[in-house]
Amino acid sequence: MAEVERRIYTREWEPGQSIPNEADLAVELGCARVTVNRALRTLAEMGLLDRRRKAGTRVALHPVGKATLSIPLIRSEIEAEGKSYRYHLLGQQIEPAPAAVTQQFALEAGAKLLHVTALHEADETPYVIEDRWINTTLMPHLTEVSFARLSANEWLLQNTPFTHGDINFGAKNASQREAQLLATKTDTALFVISRTTWDQNAALTMVELVFHPGHRKHTQL
Amino acid sequence: MAEVERRIYTREWEPGQSIPNEADLAVELGCARVTVNRALRTLAEMGLLDRRRKAGTRVALHPVGKATLSIPLIRSEIEAEGKSYRYHLLGQQIEPAPAAVTQQFALEAGAKLLHVTALHEADETPYVIEDRWINTTLMPHLTEVSFARLSANEWLLQNTPFTHGDINFGAKNASQREAQLLATKTDTALFVISRTTWDQNAALTMVELVFHPGHRKHTQL
DNA sequence: TAGTGGTCTAGACCACAGA
DNA sequence: CTGTGGTCTAGACCACTAA
Task: Read off the CATH number of the domain in which A14 is found.
Answer: 1.10.10.10
Query: How would you class B191 by CB atoms within 10 Å of its CB: exposed for 0-12, middle for 13-18, buried for 19 or more?
Result: buried
Contact A213, A182 (CB under 8 A): yes
Give me the pLDDT at residue A63, please.
Answer: 61
- Verify that B96 and B120 share a domain, yes or no: yes
- Verify that B53 and B79 share a domain, yes or no: no
Indicate if CB(B53) is under 7 A from strand D. Answer: yes
> Is A216 among the domain residues?
no
Task: For an interface test with A, give the residue of B68, B69, B162, B166 to mutate (most A CBs within 10 A).
Answer: B69
Mean pLDDT is lowest, of A129-138, B139-148, B188-197, for: B139-148
> Is B66 among the domain residues?
no
Give me the pLDDT at residue B16, please.
Answer: 84
Mean pLDDT for A5-29 is 87
Query: Using one digit for the tens of pLDDT, what is the confidence trace for B104-117?
Result: 888 887 788 899 99
> Is pLDDT at A43 greater than 70 in this prediction?
yes
H/E element holding B151?
none
Mean pLDDT for B211-217 is 92
- Verify that B151 and B182 share a domain, yes or no: yes
What is the least distance, in Å, from the CA of A34 to any CA of chain B?
11
- Verify that A83 and A7 share a domain, yes or no: no
Q: Show the DSSP H helices in chain A as ranges.
A: 2-9, 22-29, 33-45, 74-80, 99-104, 152-159, 176-181
Task: Read off the CATH number of the domain in which A100 is found.
Answer: 3.40.1410.10
Give me the pLDDT at residue A215, please.
Answer: 93
Give me the pLDDT at residue B61, please.
Answer: 76
Mean pLDDT is lowest, of A134-138, A192-196, B38-42, B84-88, for: A134-138
Give me the pLDDT at residue A126, please.
Answer: 96
> Is A120 among the domain residues?
yes
Contact A62 B70 (CB under 8 A): no
Mean pLDDT for B171-185 is 95
> Is B89 among the domain residues?
yes
- Rounded distance between C-alpha atoms, residue A201 and residue B65, angstroms: 18
Q: Nearest Cβ partner of B9 from A15, A161, A167?
A: A161
- Verify that B206 and B138 share a domain, yes or no: yes
- Verify that B105 and B142 share a domain, yes or no: yes
Backbone angles phi, psi at B8, to 5 degrees: -70, -45
Whole-number average pLDDT of chain B:
87
Mean pLDDT is lowest, of A171-180, B80-89, B157-166, B169-178, for: B157-166
- Verify that A92 and A195 share a domain, yes or no: yes
Mean pLDDT for A164-190 is 93
Are β-strands B65-71 and A65-71 bridged in parallel, bridged antiparallel, or unpaired? antiparallel
Give me the pLDDT at residue A89, please.
Answer: 94
- Verify that A129 and A189 share a domain, yes or no: yes
Indicate if CB(A38) is under 7 A from strand C. Answer: yes
> Is pLDDT at B130 greater than 70 in this prediction?
yes
Q: Which domain holds residue A25?
A: 2-59
> Is pLDDT at B63 greater than 70 in this prediction?
no
Contact A158 B62 (CB under 8 A): yes
- Verify that B12 and B50 share a domain, yes or no: yes
- Verify that B81 and B19 share a domain, yes or no: no
CA/C1' separation A54–D15 (Å): 37
Closest residue of B to A61, CA-based? Answer: B158
Amino acid at B11: R
Query: Using one digit for the tens of pLDDT, what is the confidence trace for A50-79?
Result: 888 888 888 887 666 667 777 778 888 888
